[in-house]
Amino acid sequence: MSKVWFITGSSRGLGRSLTEAVLASGYRVVATARKPEQLQDLVAQYPGQILPVRLDVTNKTEIKAAVAAAIDQYGRIDVLVNNAGFGITGAAEAFTDEQVTSQLEANLYGPIEITRAIIPYMRRQKSGRILQISSIGGRTGTPGITIYQAAKWGLSGFSEALAKELSPLGILVTSVEPGGFRTDWAGDSMSFAPFVEGYEESVEKVKHHFRGEGFVPMGDPRKAARVMIELSENPEPPVHLVLGSEAVAILEMADAKRTADLQKWKPVSVSTDHDDAVNFLDTPQGKMYSQLKTN
């Protein structure tokens, strides 16, 4: 039997492109969405191959029900893709409490809960792939999308630690970190906090960029979908996979700045060691870290 994919946010954007590509490749899909009726065209096109399920990733009851429906229908889950999410732009101080909570629940807490709900089945199978759709914003910071990126940094960090935790069990984890792709992320899926005076040179520049006609993302979601299918079959996937030349360029600039800062401030960093400290790699904890198996 073909593998079973569990994809969140499958009715639009990157999730829709991935769902279509996975189905076209002959796999079975548990396609979750807030409005699963938007998937009826795929149900008609791929009868018996797709199970549309209603899922708000911030609702723990719906998470449990969606995973149970997947197991009842197919008996297993081979590939989990945590794709659902959305962004908000504005100054950190301008967001309402509800906006902050909604960003963290949809982009971080939800994926963590879904992952935790599915891991036991993969553990018993002794196999599985988990693709967390994070963002290049989970590796570098941009003014105006602080709360969104806080969630994505959390998801990327969770994924990296989880990859080390699950690798001995035959479960491989990758944090997929796209740059700009031609979806509605900065369109209908984006909302904005009220204007606050004083951020014209930081937040407002980013906001105008997203709203402007000149904002044309470089990434093709159909190509990203093909890459993720190939990634799911790769026996040695990376723990982090950046997608898009834009994301590569941004990360290279960020890494160069971090490396320069690390070297500049290294004497200060190591000056805080206790007087009897030895080389970290010669310590038990250093040896443990160097021996941890990853993807």
Which one of the listed residues 152, 156, 159, 175 is annotated catalytic?
152
The verdict on whether 167 is a catalytic residue reads no
Residues 208 and 142: their CA atoms lie apart, in Å, by 14
Catalytic residue among 27, 74, 148, 199: 148
Catalytic residue flag (residue 109): no
Q: Which residues contact 188 (CB under 8 A, 6 or more apart)?
A: none
Q: How many CB atoms lie within 10 A of CB 278?
A: 10
CB neighbour list of residue 241: distance below 8 Å, 6 or more residues apart: 174, 175, 176, 177, 227, 231
Active site residue 74: no
Q: What is the 3-state secondary structure (H, E, C) of the chain?
A: CCCEEEECCCCCHHHHHHHHHHHHCCCEEEEEECCHHHHHHHHHHCCCCEEEEECCCCCHHHHHHHHHHHHHHHCCCCEEEECCCCEEECCHHHCCHHHHHHHHHHHHHHHHHHHHHHHHHHHHHCCEEEEEECCHHHCCCCCCCHHHHHHHHHHHHHHHHHHHHHHHHCEEEEEEEECCECCCCCCCCEEECCCCCCCCCCHHHHHHHHHCCCCCCCECHHHHHHHHHHHHHCCCCCCEEEECHHHHHHHHHHHHHHHHHHHHHHHHHHCCCCCCCCCHHHCHHHHHHHHCCCC
Separation CA 209–CA 205 (nearest Å): 6
Confirm if 217 and 182 have CB atoms less than 8 A apart.
Answer: yes
Catalytic residue among 11, 17, 134, 175: 134
**Residues assigned a catalytic role:** 134, 148, 152
